[in-house]
Amino acid sequence: MNPIHERLQQISRRHFFKSTGLAAGRIALAGMMLPELAQAAAKIKPGLRSHPALPGLPHFAPKAKRLIYLFMNGGPSQMDLLDYKPSLSKIYDTDLPESIRNGQRLTTMTSGQTRFPIAPSKYNFKQYGKSGAWFSELLPHTAKVADDIAVIRSVHTEAINHDPAVTFIQTGNQIPGKPSLGSWLSYGLGSECDNLPAFVVMTPSWTAKRDAQALYQRLWEAGFLPTKHAGVSLRSKGDSVLYLNNPPGVSPDGRRDMLDALAKINAAEYQRIGDPEINTRIAQYEMAFRMQTSVPDLTSIKNESKATLDLYGPEVVIPGTFAHSALMARRLAERGVRCIELFHREWDHHGDLQRDLPLQCRDVDQACYGLITDLKNRGMLDETLVVWGGEFGRTVYCQGALSRESYGRDHHPRCFTMWMAGGGIKGGTVYGETDDFSYNIVKDPVHIRDLNATILHCLGINHSQLTYKFQGLDQRLTGVEEANPVQGILV
Amino acid sequence: MVLMGALPQPGWAAPAKVDFNRDIRLLLSDNCLACHGPDSGKRKAGLRLDLKEGALAKLKSDNFAIVPGHPEKSSLVERILTTNEEDHMPPAKSGKKLTPAQIDLLRRWVAQGAEWKPHWSFIKPERPPAPAVKLKTWPGNPVDSFILARLEKEGLKPSNQADKTTLIRRVTFDLTGLPPTPAEVDAFLADPSPEAYNRVVTRLLKSPRYGEHEARYWLDVARYGDTHGLHLDNERSMWPYRDWVVSAFNRNLPFDQFTTEQLAGDLLPEATREQQIASGFNRCNVSTSEGGAIDEEFYVRYGVDRTETMATAWLGLTVGCAVCHDHKYDPISQREFYQLFAFFNSMTDAAMDGNALLPAPVLKLPSDEQQKKIRQLDEAIPGVEKRIAAELARIDYHEPDPRPAATNPPQDFVWVEDAFPEGSTLEPVGAATQWVEGDRVFSGKRALIRSDAGLAQDVFSGAAQPLTPGKQDKLFVHVYLEPTNPPKTIMLQLHTSGGWTHRANWGDENAIGWGEKGTPSKLLMGQLPKSGVWVRLEVDAAKFEFSDGTKVDGMAFTQFGGTVRWDKAGIQSGGGQFDPASESLLAWEQQEARRDKSTAPKEVREAVKQKSADRKPEQVKLIRNYYLEHIYEPKRLIFAPLQKEIADLRAQRSILEQSFTATLVSHEMDKPRGAFILKRGQYDQHGDAVIRGVPSVLPALKTGATTNRLDLARWLVSPEHPLTARVSINRFWQQFFGTGLVKTAGDFGATGEWPSHPELLDWLATEFLQSGWDVRHMIRLMVTSATYRQSSAVTPALVRRDPQNRLLARGPRFRLDAEMIRDNALFVSGLLVEKQGGHSVKPYQPPGIWEAVGYTTSNTAKFEQDHGEALYRRSLYTFWKRTAAPPFLTTFDAPSREKYCTRRERTDTPLQALVTMNDPQYVEAARQLGTRMIGHDIDAGRRLDFGFRVVTARMPSRFEKAVLSEALNKYLARYRKDADAAAKLLSVGESPVSEKLNKPELAAYTMMGSLLLNLDETLNKN
């Protein structure tokens, strides 16, 4: 049989018009000039999601459809924010007992110190909500949603420096090269929208004017997964998505004309060559065009009510701030983006914590409250998982000069505090316990592998079965060691 | 997970006879070996299925897993068939499930006698004869016989040869990374000789572009980058290594030498400069200098990375699996991993790279010009030294009569009053230095004033006339603390030749962290002085424990917080500030002998410490000359300028030397670091010590007195080695055909894929070896094969039958790699600047990409774009920041280069479309392509033909021409109506816009250029 005829039979025009969702007028011309264009392009299914979930996924009914991850890069101080240790005040400036330190390795920044004096938090704490969770005065707004969140005070990791630690929590391995959490979600669960990427990343500004620890694109890259699963940066300056805007002097109509001509020539090429990849390319150019209108629609907040904006605080109207990015996160969530991650920097307070931590908290506190409340008001919190935290905690002992009012803290991987809220999470929970020094975990430890397993679980994924074969191994986000979802915080 | 691997792909003929290596091994690896494999720690039921002895042995339960020929007696078969959940294999919780086809295969394999073979890739390849084929006229060389034999077995026919324009574009991209010019296409079309194609291939293989193109693939494997890759991610200088790779391909360096020089160039006898540069391969790993990081941990990480990279690149083995435990699928124990690791853990580079451009060991690479200048400087310096010697010889020194000891009453020598001492350098910390006049001045006309919330100070040093504090003297300064805003602490600090090591502290002793409390580095002077009045602060010089003759040449007036005025500072001294050593050699000798620290050279110090009676004559002379040249005040006017002259020459030399190009190289420690099995891979959990060695499943290593990287490299390329040739040739195959004969290019182990054409792979491997590792010869074989020359047009039936084109019933067709897409745009637009090598360049990049991630003090936190020709170099030369790689390359699947990469993914995304449509680089290239089209002819039709031909190598069809013309007319109409839009479009890019051209017309052709650059045909090799 003539292969061309065979191909013609595969496709019907009716099917094409139904499935492409392209403006009929655009296609009409092409259709008249080249009937087969329509037929060739019909194999593509724009209008549907850009890529589907893997077969068999989700593994079970998910509680959350998507993830919003609020990452505090640098390591927020747990005992100044959420892990209340009232008894420390009485032992101010005494040495951390050796029985507590217990040979724990230190970074080389403080391993040379002759003393490890206790630095109690200078901040006041109060209990909030039905759960009676303790919140520092630096988080007055987050405290208001105490009953929506689960505070986990017993997260721990092995990495003790920023680069390995942040790479570990975001990619499951301290060494660069593995896919990020968001890219795993894109790979496993697919995309739910046809005009935005499945995984979007923002890097909002911060207030404390200190040197800020670095980020690395590997935190949202796809590692050995296909690069289409990599996080796409939504930027506050320049093109909101890289290269999104037409060059100056090229109007949307001008771009449309080019795409139409391109599609015709490409479709003719498909006729000659028969490579299905040609159709994929035609479809991707169409999706690029759709993104050119969907992204500006996304970033315009002119239709947000004052009441909504007020939830996030005054900075919500300033692009690039954490508050504005949090609002963008909600707007992305509404549009079906699978994973949205905000990387807020400068939480690494080795000295002058009292100067910088309040500024950092002011950046994020109300916006976190605003995001949770906004999602709840729209009935979206139940289907959106929100995670807040950094790559490790900080030491109870002081780094550098100590006074009641002024102190610094070194990195502390043995325990730190994160919170989760939304789909799958039992609000108003306080999980895990640390000793009186917030130095060791005494109850319900949660390794960051368990944390990642929990995130996947909420999204309907059995972490041990979301795998990708690379270099001989069924690779997983949670690696080869055991990991378990934290049942105690799950609904 | 979809299981492809060993199983025949859908549509492939199912063979009747089960082959262990092809059909069974991967099946066992994927489903069984995690619990029944080489890892003795995790083995269940005593069953080991990767070895015949293990699989046939009696189990703990007295059953047999496998009884050859008797599936009904084999518990393996029973357990995979059973419906009993508890007994069923693989267990449900493993998440593994066998398909009915797989179960059938296992059953048939047992029934057919459960034949075992060693893993295919560990057996040395034997050269197979080219198989017999029916279509005898088709094969051009032995490669084709293997391909055709398989096709005939599958009942498929090869495709026709691609037309000549498609072919020359394909092969030109494949061998140079760039397209052919229309003239090159014409010449090929005009050459009817059967040798025409071979001649093209020869020309391309000789082109310097060939090395640039081939290098790019290898640099992915080598994880080459221009930054350290971790934490600060500062710049590092590795580019001479990149240029070495280019040159190695252009010199057609045999692959065995290519291997040896990179892994062990530094260890070769009398290693050349080039060989040492090549050893930079081992230094390409990411490195850190993060504050707080632990050295030992990173020594281990670097060693593991180097081991894994070597193993993946040459062995095609995933040895990284054995870092924490025995490999679960391949016969590589954890011990054997650390034996390999032991080759790489004893290089002299430090764990912390210091965030330096050139962390040692490095090789300096001065140009001829620079070497000449260095020689000139080296000759000039002795000239000045001679003049100094002559002056010294002329001095007739006599010891002067001692001056009477000072007995004057102590008096103030004022040093700071309305100004800092002459010759000193001021370096304030906090706000700029501020002097105030008015009523609150202690003396003179003005006083210093400073307010700050934290640490701040006025600091000066380097005073021409330093103070020489005697034991009875006092240092003083006057302060006035603002009562409404008192500081926490104030501090007086003194600068001597030993630096800032003398401090006196008033007030909170913890506010300023410097110095050790209660010592001269931080004298505790008690409370803050009273505020609201001027107070004279005095410190006894004795408390500072100065050694005799110490000179104070600077002070710092330091405060923490508050507002402080400072005025009139100096020394109260009874002895005047005369230093007897300035006139008396004897006095100086006495001072010098008592001094703990000194700036005098070691041999002078030693001589001075001798009793004068014991000094040798040359020591006496040494002391005299040193004293007269450097200390003796009456002759300073003579020697100071000479010393300055010499210092200037040395400074020039040092600056010049620092400007030398240099590159990171490997260097082996004299005595290796110990290597141990690391329990669970933890750097601080030492198990048994291990010595260097190779996995026992592979040929033995020839060891010598010192077994080192050189032995390892030679072992890799020894003729007995089963892997190196196969793994390497497979990567070249992958480059031309899109997929390797072994698809998993970095994994030839049990979990890797069975080769699509095992005999061909072995034939190529043996040919590679026999040719003397001649890379060019092998590439020629591949690209001149009839297989390669086939048309890539495909029918739906064939797409269904062989979607990935593994059987090669058609020619290769796939999207160009990231670099080729950009280089093509630069080339066809005429912008490409073909300059080879050198420091990496920073072409256009959207703002904010480095800034979004960079540590604020990193030297790659701010992107500064280059200009001029740097914008138009081949992408190979683009600066590669590893934590934020060039977006226009990574969008097209270029790796971050943080880790080795043997195979790039090939995706198709909307973001790619946005790059080629909107990235200023592509818009500028489109404008220049449009300019070329206009310049080519006056006729629009011929212009379009030309443009189309430049990007695709062929003429457009009538249909294509009609579409193009229609688009052109629309754009002409649009830009003629809107000249403003035209001007805006033409403003993109830094290359000049031809003033002669009509702007709306050029804008329209710019859009046509853009259209052509975005054609699917342009973006693909066809």
Which chain A residues touch B853 with a CB distance below 8 Å? Answer: 203, 214-217
- B550 in the same domain as B471: yes
B414 in contact with chain A, both atoms CB, cutoff 8 A: no
Average pLDDT over residues B809-830: 97
Residues A230 and A183 sit within 8 Å (Cβ to Cβ): yes
Token pair, residue B563, equals 């507002």
Nearest CB partner across the interface for A226, out of B852, B887, B905: B905
The residues with which B1020 forms a beta bridge, in sequence order, are B815
CB count in 10 Å sphere of residue B596: 6
Subunit contact A215:B883, Cβ cutoff 8 A: yes
What's the total number of domains in chain B? Answer: 4
Token pair, residue B366, equals 């001065």
CA B688 to each of CA A125, B333, B675, B676, B851: distance values in angstroms, whole numbers, following the listed order: 51, 13, 9, 5, 46
Residues B450 and B434 sit within 8 Å (Cβ to Cβ): yes
How many whole angstroms separate alpha carbon A385 and alpha carbon A182? 13
Model confidence at B820: pLDDT above 90: yes
Sequence-ordered alpha helix ranges (H) in B693-817: 709-716, 724-737, 758-770, 775-783, 796-801
Task: Tell me the residue ranges of DSSP E strands in B374-487.
Answer: 411-416, 425-426, 435-436, 447-451, 455-461, 474-481
B776 in contact with chain A, both atoms CB, cutoff 8 A: no
Percent of chain B with pLDDT over 90: 69
Q: Name the CA dihedral angle for B636, B637, B639, B641, rounded to a multiple of 10 degrees.
A: 130
User: What is the three-class DSSP state of A199?
Assistant: strand
Nearest CB partner across the interface for B795, out of A3, A260, A287: A3
Token pair, residue B343, equals 């080759």
Least confident of A52-56, B81-85, B154-158: B81-85
User: What is the three-class DSSP state of A385?
Assistant: strand
Is there a domain that residue B429 lies in? yes
How many whole angstroms separate alpha carbon B894 and alpha carbon B880? 11
Burial label, A242 (beta-carbon count in 10 A; 0-12, 13-18, 19+): buried
The residue with tokens 């009273």 is B530
- B924 in the same domain as B1005: yes
pLDDT in tens, A199-234: 999 999 999 876 788 999 999 999 999 888 999 999
Model confidence at A272: pLDDT above 80: yes
- B533 in the same domain as B463: yes
pLDDT in tens, B753-800: 889 999 999 999 999 999 999 999 999 999 999 999 999 999 999 999
User: What is the three-class DSSP state of B542?
Assistant: helix
- B459 in the same domain as B427: yes
Which chain B residues touch A50 with a CB distance below 8 Å? Answer: 910
Which element (helix H / strand E) includes B588?
helix B585-594
CB count in 10 Å sphere of residue B58: 10
Subunit contact B510:A403, Cβ cutoff 8 A: yes
CB count in 10 Å sphere of residue B155: 8
Residues B250 and B910 sit within 8 Å (Cβ to Cβ): no
b/e per residue B973-1010 (b: at least 16 CB within 10 A): ebbeebeebbbebbebbebebeeebebbbbbbbbbbbb
- B1011 in the same domain as B938: yes
Nearest CB partner across the interface for A243, out of B884, B918, B1011: B918
- B591 in the same domain as B554: no
User: Any idea what the CATH number is for the domain that residue B462 is in?
Assistant: 2.60.120.260
Q: Give the gap in angstroms from C-alpha B890 to the nearest C-alpha of chain A.
A: 8
Subunit contact A258:B1010, Cβ cutoff 8 A: yes
Q: Tell me the residue type at B549.
A: G
How many whole angstroms separate alpha carbon A30 and alpha carbon A230? 34
How many whole angstroms separate alpha carbon A242 and alpha carbon B850? 13
B292 in contact with chain A, both atoms CB, cutoff 8 A: yes
Which chain A residues touch B893 with a CB distance below 8 Å? Answer: 227
Nearest CB partner across the interface for B988, out of A247, A285, A474: A247
Subunit contact A244:B853, Cβ cutoff 8 A: no
Token pair, residue A428, equals 């108003």
CB count in 10 Å sphere of residue B101: 12
How many CA within 13 A on the CB side of residue B758?
Answer: 14
Token pair, residue A325, equals 């990015």
How many whole angstroms separate alpha carbon B771 and alpha carbon B526? 84
- For residue B916, the 8-state DSSP code is H
pLDDT in tens, A404-441: 999 999 999 999 999 999 999 999 999 999 999 999 99
Is there a domain that residue B863 lies in? no
Q: Give the gap in angstroms from C-alpha B145 to the nearest C-alpha of chain A.
A: 25
Which one has a higher pLDDT value, B407 or B675? Answer: B675
CA B712 to each of CA B241, B670, B690, B693, B707: distance values in angstroms, whole numbers, following the listed order: 21, 18, 16, 8, 8
The residue with tokens 């599958």 is B154
- B589 in the same domain as B563: no
Nearest CB partner across the interface for A245, out of B320, B513, B918: B918
pLDDT in tens, B257-295: 999 999 999 999 999 999 999 999 999 999 999 988 899
Token pair, residue B275, equals 């060989």
Which chain B residues touch A473 with a CB distance below 8 Å? Answer: 318, 321, 751
pLDDT in tens, A30-45: 333 344 444 444 444 4
Determine the pLDDT at residue A41: 44
Which chain B residues touch A194 with a CB distance below 8 Å? Answer: none
Model confidence at B51: pLDDT above 90: no
Q: At a CB cut-off of 8 Å and minimum separation 6, what does B1003 contact?
A: A249, B971, B975, B981, B982, B983, B985, B986
Nearest CB partner across the interface for A472, out of B321, B984, B1022: B321
Nearest CB partner across the interface for B796, out of A7, A160, A288: A7
State the complex-level ipTM.
0.83
- B533 in the same domain as B499: yes
Sequence-ordered alpha helix ranges (H) in A234-352: 252-273, 276-299, 306-312, 322-334
Q: Give the gap in angstroms from C-alpha A59 to the nearest C-alpha of chain B.
A: 11
What mean pLDDT, rounded, does chain A reach? 89
- B567 in the same domain as B424: yes
Angle of the B295-310 helix axis to the B334-341 helix axis, nearest 10? 100
Chain B 954-983, residues with CB within 8 Å of chain A CB atoms: 957, 959-960, 963-964, 966-967, 970-971, 974, 980-983
Mutate to test the interface with B, among A115, A246, A469 (most CBs of B within 10 A): A469
- B550 in the same domain as B444: yes
Residues B345 and B712 sit within 8 Å (Cβ to Cβ): no
Is there a domain that residue B767 lies in? no
SS3 content of chain B, % helix, strand, coil (to 5): 45, 10, 45
Q: Calculate ∠ Cα B108-B114-B118, nearest 5°.
A: 130
How many whole angstroms separate alpha carbon A326 and alpha carbon A71? 12
Residues B85 and B94 sit within 8 Å (Cβ to Cβ): no
pLDDT in tens, B1-12: 333 334 444 444
User: What is the three-class DSSP state of B560?
Assistant: strand
B920 in contact with chain A, both atoms CB, cutoff 8 A: yes
How many whole angstroms separate alpha carbon B423 and alpha carbon B403? 28
Is there a domain that residue B758 lies in? no
- SS3 of A314-331: the string is HHHHCCCCHHHHHHHHHH
The residue with tokens 């924010």 is A81
Mutate to test the interface with A, among B739, B1016, B1021 (most CBs of A within 10 A): B1016
Determine the pLDDT at residue A432: 97
Rg (CA), chain B: 38
Last residue within a domain, chosen from B574, B592, B617: B574
pLDDT in tens, B446-495: 999 999 888 999 999 888 778 888 888 899 999 999 998 999 999 999 99
Mutate to test the interface with A, among B918, B924, B1013 (most CBs of A within 10 A): B918
The domain of B54 spans 20-117
Nearest CB partner across the interface for A262, out of B792, B966, B1015: B1015
Q: At a CB cut-off of 8 Å and minimum separation 6, what does B428 contact?
A: B456, B457, B458, B459
- B497 in the same domain as B611: no
* Residue in chain B lying closest to A274 (CA): B794
Is there a domain that residue B160 lies in? no
Least confident of B38-47, B122-131, B961-970: B38-47
Is there a domain that residue B722 lies in? no
Q: Give the gap in angstroms from C-alpha B138 to the nearest C-alpha of chain A.
A: 22
- B531 in the same domain as B443: yes
CB pairs under 8 A between A and B: 277
Determine the pLDDT at residue B159: 97
pLDDT in tens, A360-418: 999 999 999 999 999 999 999 999 999 999 999 999 999 988 999 999 999 999 999 99
Burial label, B796 (beta-carbon count in 10 A; 0-12, 13-18, 19+): middle
Which band of pLDDT confidence, cut at 50, 70 and 90, is reported for residue A11?
Answer: very low
Determine the pLDDT at residue A270: 95
Nearest CB partner across the interface for B959, out of A109, A250, A268: A268
Residues B141 and B781 sit within 8 Å (Cβ to Cβ): yes
Residues B854 and B862 sit within 8 Å (Cβ to Cβ): yes
CA B630 to each of CA B392, B611, B623, B626, B862: distance values in angstroms, whole numbers, following the listed order: 11, 22, 11, 6, 45
Domains and CATH numbers, chain A: 3-43+248-290 (no CATH), 66-237+319-489 (3.40.720)
B41 in contact with chain A, both atoms CB, cutoff 8 A: no
Task: Tell me the residue ranges of DSSP E strands in B518-608.
Answer: 523-524, 534-540, 554-560, 563-573
Token pair, residue B653, equals 């030399």
How many whole angstroms separate alpha carbon A160 and alpha carbon A413? 6
Last residue within a domain, chosen from B117, B141, B165: B117
How many whole angstroms separate alpha carbon B932 and alpha carbon B909? 30
Which band of pLDDT confidence, cut at 50, 70 and 90, is reported for residue A50?
Answer: low
Last residue within a domain, chosen from B85, B117, B149: B117
Determine the pLDDT at residue A1: 33
Is there a domain that residue B566 lies in? yes
Residues B805 and B738 sit within 8 Å (Cβ to Cβ): yes
pLDDT in tens, B358-384: 999 999 999 999 999 999 999 999 999
Q: Name the CA dihedral angle for A374, A377, A378, A382, rounded to a multiple of 10 degrees.
A: 90
Nearest CB partner across the interface for B301, out of A175, A238, A288: A175
Sequence-ordered alpha helix ranges (H) in B129-265: 142-153, 164-176, 182-189, 196-206, 208-221, 239-250, 255-264
Which chain B residues touch A402 with a CB distance below 8 Å? Answer: 510
Determine the pLDDT at residue B2: 35
Subunit contact A471:B746, Cβ cutoff 8 A: yes
Average pLDDT over residues A238-250: 95
CA B43 to each of CA A365, B46, B402, B750: distance values in angstroms, whole numbers, following the listed order: 51, 6, 91, 17
Subunit contact B510:A401, Cβ cutoff 8 A: yes
Q: Give the gap in angstroms from C-alpha B1013 to the nearest C-alpha of chain A.
A: 10
Sign of CA dihedral B510, B512, B513, B514: negative
Least confident of A274-278, B38-42, B79-83: B38-42
Q: Give the gap in angstroms from C-alpha B696 to the nearest C-alpha of chain A.
A: 20
Determine the pLDDT at residue B740: 97
Subunit contact A203:B891, Cβ cutoff 8 A: no
> Is the whole model's pTM more than 0.95, yes or no?
no
Q: What is the DSSP string of A62-73?
A: -S-SEEEEEEET
Sign of CA dihedral A158, A164, A169, A172: negative
Is there a domain that residue B761 lies in? no
